[in-house]
Amino acid sequence: MDIVKEVKDIFESKFQTKPVLFASPGRVNLIGEHTDYNEGFILPAAIDKAVYVAVSLRTDDTIHLHAVDFNEDYIVTVNEMAPVVNGWSNYILGVVDQLQKNGYAVPGFNMVIRGNVPSGAGLSSSAALECAVIFALNDLLGLDIPKIDMVKMAQLAEHTYAGVKCGIMDQFASMMSIDGHVIRLDCRSLEYDYIPFNFKDISVVLFNTQVTHNLASSEYNTRREECEAGVAIIKKKHPHVQSLRDVTLDWVEQYLEKDSKIYNRCKFVTGENQRLLDGCDAIADNDLESFGALMFETHEGLSKLYEVSCKELDFLVDTVKENKAVLGSRMMGGGFGGCTINLVKTSEIDEVVADVTGKYQEKYGIKPPVYICTLQKGTYKIEI
């Protein structure tokens, strides 16, 4: 069944009224990993997998949520909201909380949620949900909140209710993307450029380890603290330094203890910012082979210096490293599982998929799901 019709039908059956529907996509990030919360550069894009919400306002102060994927309901009043331990409702209630903190009155509402962004795959299903919710409430309540402010509120919802101190990339990509482009975003100034990425002979292919990143949230926050510790040390010598964005590789080598965790984390991030800028130049020159080589370098750094990979991710990257049909590959997302992102010659996708999935199944006993992605627009209202 068409997912939009499914969400609409479930909503009407459950609440006996017609909803308004919205969609917000998951995202990939071609290069620039763990740079966003260090005020660096990123290169994400929304993809053709999304979270869909059907919504109607209520006349009382009750929020009634139904998650189709979990077959679960969550009911609370607007004034009694609080974070739930490991609860999917946090991504919705956190958005309502942000609206309230910014002076917007939010009444009760009904919402049905359904998604086809694979959870735990590093495609930011949580940010997609946050963006769908704030976009929907902004529309239904006529709040006229600028998109960039909705992005910031969605990010803070994840900080406060889900407890993950994420950077701004996931929400920004989910909300702000346009068809057929990647976004080069400066995470300090929030200045951004849309860069065409319409290479018909090259496709973006994801292989899902099916390893869920249980460590990701806590280790993500730890990595952030380690980067901040490096900044604090360097700041003593260079007071203008505010984040790793201001730090050169020479300073990392000069002021941080070699091969310490803090050294390794900071060395990766400073190198990754330069790889992203070099990668944008490569795209502009239609040189995807050079771009792909940078992706392989990024994975090596994420695995050895930043230590957020796992043996399954490393195996997937190693499997394609010598394959001439694969220009680049790396792990993507917070780490410890999820997907690798690969640039694959479109004419040879079937052969590459058969080779990689076969070897992975032989090694780990499971066949990794494969997603061939097209780059899509960000959060939108569905016109029926």
SS3 content of the chain, % helix, strand, coil (to 5): 45, 20, 35
| pLDDT for res 323 | 96
pLDDT average, residue stretch 33-49: 93
Hey, which CATH number is domain 3-198+377-382, 2.30.30.40, 3.40.605.10, 3.30.230.10, 3.30.1490.20? 3.30.230.10
Greater model confidence, 125 or 151: 151
Task: Evaluate if residue 74 carries a pLDDT over 90.
Answer: yes
Residues 228, 314 contacting (CB under 8 angstroms): no
The reported pTM is 0.89
Query: Identity (one letter) of the amino acid at 289?
Result: E
Task: Evaluate if residue 53 carries a pLDDT over 90.
Answer: yes
Task: Evaluate if residue 118 carries a pLDDT over 90.
Answer: no
Q: Domains of the chain: which residue ranges?
A: 3-198+377-382, 202-373
CA–CA distance, 334 with 338 (Å, rounded to integer):
8
**Cβ neighbourhood burial of 136 (10 Å; 0-12, 13-18, 19+):** buried
Indicate the pLDDT class of residue 213, thresholds 50, 70 and 90: low
| pLDDT for res 84 | 86
What's the pLDDT tens digit per position in 266-321? 999 999 999 999 999 999 999 999 999 999 999 999 999 999 999 999 999 999 99
Say which CATH architecture domain 202-373 belongs to: 2-Layer Sandwich (3.30)
243-265: b (≥16 Cβ within 10 Å) or e: bbbbbeeebbeebbeeeebbbbb
pLDDT average, residue stretch 162-191: 91
What's the pLDDT tens digit per position in 232-249? 999 999 999 999 999 999
Percent of the chain at pLDDT above 70? 98
Phi, psi of 203 (to 5 degrees): -120, 150
Catalytic sites, residue numbers: 170
| pLDDT for res 214 | 61
Task: Evaluate if residue 152 carries a pLDDT over 80.
Answer: yes
Both tokens assigned to 72:
């679960």
| pLDDT for res 254 | 96
